[in-house]
Structure 1
């Protein structure tokens, strides 16, 4: 008989960041993760993580709503069901619960982790096999202070930790943001690529002015300069400038990807398991992008180690990502809740090995940081 899902437990875990992380819509000094512990009737436990940015400042799901909706609506749909047919379980969640992509991603991660442990296979193997075991990782400079950001970037280069950098801008006037970014790019020169993320902060007219200046400054990629719903505007910007546009909030799943591709979008898609409801959904989007000749970028919602490991298993099944990844979430945190941290070295991170995600919890650390 197939094992069935016995219990699903969710925990809110608050971990402080190493420094304030400034975005266009909020500044973070702590990251809250929803940790999922799914236990099957054969005694196997699967781990998952649902994480977002800045409570409700970024999107419609908060850590508290993710936990409540899993506990109240989603977990009852899974408990008692056979644990080894993920396609049926995903369809069951989609049929009975709309939206809640981060919550669904956390549950799918836990299901895949448990199935991998049961079969003695990694999550990447369950998804078809890893094509790469070391993935490049950039670092986001988000202190808001130009001198501090330059120093931070130089330290990361010297340590061979990161070779490319992204700047979060959009909270300040355009001219101030451009000066900040241009100074950092000038200081780094050809030693590193520099990109920017607006998190939808500009309207299209402002974006035309700002992107022109950023392109002149040597910035190599512009992420989501205008609101997510403005697909036509993003396509116009992509066709107007040499510097590529990176669609992030504008492309949640394969349906959004198809809309942009059919409209003539050129540039890249930011892949995030949380946006697409899990690993299988994000790979559907990735394969669509590949077919349309659109570049790929492995994005993050600043997940901790569990969510980051899940993303890495998905990215590892793809050909080389044209724009690399930003799976640095665990490095932004002062501490961790896992027994063995991810191995960051040589401007990237190693794919975890072992069954499932290849991640085990540190129970003492989990108990210390879990919200009462």
Structure 2
């Protein structure tokens, strides 16, 4: 079996309402569907979500690097020779989302070739993940209403609150309103998307003390190295690296330098292969991990579930898996269902993210 070609299909699906946060706003899923074709007719696929304000990749750059650089070099290789394929892609620096999508598509392809679910090939620890829902920039009362609605409808009991606003009082008020309105049994954690300085983050922690917040993700830019180390030392809760740790090398740097003491793994930017390397570093050092969301479609969310449910460490906490609910439509032929606050893995060969071809034809941008 040989790789015959790689497709990078740009498409766009609007959100019913934008998700706003400190480093940007997403109103449309202008993603790229990546497909790896073999000479015997098998196809592996994955979703690539551009986040230009975070990683510098755009829809056009992802399609270009895959079709113009990766595909000509990878075509003709055996898809089982994954280390050789990664060595080829790693000649090109950065472009983590493009590389991650090719990697997940390869795993999907191998699962189909072996007639085995990828979640079993990775580790098969459990068959589902608890769901965490992200709450974007909105007035505190609206955030509480949204959280209650998702709790009642889907059984979700974990919420990530997007913070990083100025004045700080907006976010501090939201923390207090959510805790008072949701009770102590609901897990609430924060993600500032580099919106504050380290000193501002310390002030927010001081003014939310006693609320039982569980994590503080990417409070400030990692370039603020000295103040960030002081924040990690003084914080009563784990400080999670996210945008600052897209690669295994970045994870090593931030953990060893004291820039964070927990790690967010996102399969959209690391694929399954580098995500395993990152997880190995974290478990070896006794560092907590979370499974993050790159504002994924159902195709991307299913990849997160596939990886997260495969390992004990990644399945301990709820994964960020529900923002596809804010999309006007999706590509997945068999839509994801959230039941009792959980999403189950697919038990079919591969990842199980079969696409509705009619929907893809309707939303693709290259025809």
TM-score (norm 1): 0.93
1 CA distance for matches of 2:260 and 2:294? 24
Secondary structure of the structure 1 residue equivalent to 2:354: coil
Q: Map residues 189-338 of structure 1 onto 2, 5 A cutoff.
A: 189-264=183-258, 267-276=261-270, 278-321=271-314, 322-338=316-332
1 CA distance for matches of 2:71 and 2:326? 30
- Aligned position for 2:25: 27
Secondary structure of the structure 2 residue equivalent to 1:165: strand
Secondary structure of the structure 1 residue equivalent to 2:120: helix
Contact 1:261–1:292, Cα closer than 8 Å, also in 2: no
- Aligned position for 1:93: 89
- Aligned position for 1:147: 141
Superposition deviation, residue 109 in structure 1: 1.1
1 CA distance for matches of 2:100 and 2:257? 28
- Aligned position for 1:180: 174
Contact 1:193–1:220, Cα closer than 8 Å, also in 2: yes
- Aligned position for 2:6: 8
Contact 2:299–2:353, Cα closer than 8 Å, also in 1: yes
Superposition deviation, residue 264 in structure 1: 4.7
Secondary structure of the structure 2 residue equivalent to 1:71: helix
- Aligned position for 2:53: 57
2 CA distance for matches of 1:266 and 1:97? 27
Change (3 A) 1:320 1:81: closer
When the two structures are aligned, how many residues end up with a matched partner?
Answer: 365
TM-score (norm 2): 0.94
Superposition deviation, residue 159 in structure 1: 2.1
In structure 2, runs of 5+ residues without a counterpart are none
Contact 1:266–1:294, Cα closer than 8 Å, also in 2: no
Contact 1:131–1:317, Cα closer than 8 Å, also in 2: yes
Secondary structure of the structure 2 residue equivalent to 1:300: coil
Superposition deviation, residue 283 in structure 1: 1.2
Change (3 A) 1:232 1:354: farther
Q: Map residues 33-72 of structure 1 onto 2, 5 A cutoff.
A: 33-53=31-51, 56-72=52-68
